């Protein structure tokens, strides 16, 4: 494919509302026009470029990628069908992976390397998608106001002791919905509903993104909040005096809820072998490069997390297969609405 044809295709993608970003920027793929190439449709817009570049340097396989949100890219893949040029679809939430699998976006991938690198609960049993990084959804707190001995489970934040002290993410966030889906899976709908109604009874601040939750806790606007660990690690790395700490909930019960960034080889791929090699590389040789820049946990248990993340300590994650959470997503959305969660 020539440079001009790639640029025309990138511009066309932009006209459809999906922001095109090719590895080296300015519409040019790494490695010139020679050699094999794969197309990655990615909802993960942070920290990937260096990993993609290293993959190209080590394998000779060029990587071109289109950035957009999960819904945009999934809709695009559906509309393009078998004519899609996408070889890999990468998302930042397991519910989107599960939905894409149900819609027939992925082909099954039989890879001993991926099965060895990605724990069973973090990949699709049919090999359609694989987790590539892990984010733990836990509790950020102000250590001057909260003794960690006061913290235990997600549902314990419904205790009236936390009234007026709690920050939560919006109900439309995939992070919120996946957390509540996990609570339904582990506790049953009745107990999950009681917990969410208890959160609402505590008059929480509802904030549109995790970064602002962490900053609000650090500024004294809330004493506790629910957030992904990597936002806390990132902001603490930028400001060691931020004044927050992080707690892994449910260590004595079901284990901390985790979500993943993950990907699969598309059914439309013209280069499935190269796409599979790309996923295998991200889960093994390129694992640290892929996760460290965003302070995520490696999905591969043989790879150590970056220092700021390791400082949070070890934790036990919820052992339920993350793909199972998609089955509870609709119930979670309805529960949030019924409970008056904004």
Domains of the chain by range and CATH? 3-132+260-302 (3.40.190.10), 135-257+314-338 (3.40.190.10)
Confidence of residue 95 (pLDDT cuts 50, 70, 90): confident
Give the pLDDT confidence score for residue 33 in this predicted structure: 57
Percent of the chain's residues with pLDDT above 70: 89
Task: State the Cα–Cα distance between residues 233 and 287, nearest whole angstrom.
Answer: 18
| 185-194 LR contacts (CB < 8 Å, sep 24+) | 185/320, 185/324, 185/325, 185/328, 186/253, 186/254, 186/318, 186/320, 187/155, 187/254, 189/331, 189/335, 191/155, 192/155, 192/332, 192/335, 193/335, 193/338, 193/339, 194/155, 194/158
Of the CA atoms within 13 Å of residue 234, those in its CB half-sphere come to 20
Give the pLDDT confidence score for residue 227 in this predicted structure: 98
Mean residue pLDDT across the chain: 90
Confidence of residue 13 (pLDDT cuts 50, 70, 90): very low
Task: State the Cα–Cα distance between residues 106 and 127, nearest whole angstrom.
Answer: 9
Q: Any idea which of 106-120, 142-156, 210-224, 323-337 has the lowest mean pLDDT? A: 323-337
Q: What pLDDT digit, counting tens, does each position of 242-282 carry?
A: 999 999 999 999 999 999 999 999 999 999 999 999 999 99
Task: State the Cα–Cα distance between residues 232 and 238, nearest whole angstrom.
Answer: 10
- Strands 224-228, 62-67: pairing kind: unpaired
Beta bridge partners of 294: none
Cα angle: 144, vertex 147, 148; to 5 degrees: 120
Residue that is written with structure tokens 């509903």 in the block: 193
Q: What pLDDT digit, counting tens, does each position of 124-150 carry?
A: 999 999 999 999 999 999 999 999 999
Give the pLDDT confidence score for residue 44 in this predicted structure: 85
Mean pLDDT of the region 71-91 = 94
Per the CB < 8 A criterion, the answer to whether 297 and 136 are in contact is yes
Residue 12 has pLDDT above 60, yes or no: no
Task: State the Cα–Cα distance between residues 1 and 57, nearest whole angstrom.
Answer: 19
Residue 284 has pLDDT above 90, yes or no: yes
Give the pLDDT confidence score for residue 20 in this predicted structure: 36
Residue 31 has pLDDT above 60, yes or no: no
Beta bridge partners of 66: 20, 41
Task: State the Cα–Cα distance between residues 88 and 275, nearest whole angstrom.
Answer: 6
Residue 26 has pLDDT above 70, yes or no: no
Task: State the Cα–Cα distance between residues 143 and 158, nearest whole angstrom.
Answer: 19
Give the pLDDT confidence score for residue 278 in this predicted structure: 98
């Amino acid at each position: 494919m020539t440079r001009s044809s790639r640029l025309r295709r990138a511009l066309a993608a932009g006209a459809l509302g999906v922001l095109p970003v090719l590895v080296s920027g300015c519409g040019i793929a790494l490695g010139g026009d020679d050699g094999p190439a794969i197309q990655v449709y990615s909802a993960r817009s942070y920290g990937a470029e260096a990993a993609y570049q290293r993959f190209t340097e080590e394998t000779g396989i060029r990587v071109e990628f289109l950035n957009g949100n999960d819904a945009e890219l999934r809709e695009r893949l559906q509309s393009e069908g078998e004519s899609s040029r996408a070889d890999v679809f990468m998302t930042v939430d397991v519910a989107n992976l599960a939905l894409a699998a149900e819609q027939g976006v992925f082909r099954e991938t039989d890879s001993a390397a991926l099965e060895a690198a990605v724990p069973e609960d973090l990949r699709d049993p049919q090999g359609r998608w694989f987790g590539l990084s892990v984010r733990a959804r836990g509790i950020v707190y102000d250590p001057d106001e909260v003794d960690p001995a006061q913290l235990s489970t997600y549902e314990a934040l419904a205790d009236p002791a936390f009234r007026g002290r709690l920050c939560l993410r919006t109900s439309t966030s995939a992070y919120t919905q996946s957390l509540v889906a996990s609570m339904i899976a582990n506790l049953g709908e009745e107990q999950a509903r009681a917990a969410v109604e208890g959160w609402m009874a505590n008059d929480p601040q509802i904030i549109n993104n995790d970064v602002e939750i962490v900053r609000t806790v650090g500024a004294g606007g809330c004493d506790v909040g629910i957030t992904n660990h990597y936002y806390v690690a990132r902001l603490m790395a930028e400001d060691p005096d931020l004044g927050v700490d992080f707690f892994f909930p449910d260590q004595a019960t079901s284990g901390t809820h985790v979500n993943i960034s993950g990907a699969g080889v598309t059914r439309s791929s013209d280069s499935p072998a190269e796409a599979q090699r790309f996923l295998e590389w991200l889960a093994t040789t390129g694992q640290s490069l892929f996760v460290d820049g965003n302070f995520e946990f490696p999905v591969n248990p043989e790879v150590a997390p970056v220092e700021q993340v390791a400082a949070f300590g070890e934790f036990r994650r919820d052992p339920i297969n993350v793909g199972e959470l998609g089955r509870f997503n609709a119930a979670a959305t309805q529960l949030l609405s019924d409970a008056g969660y904004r």
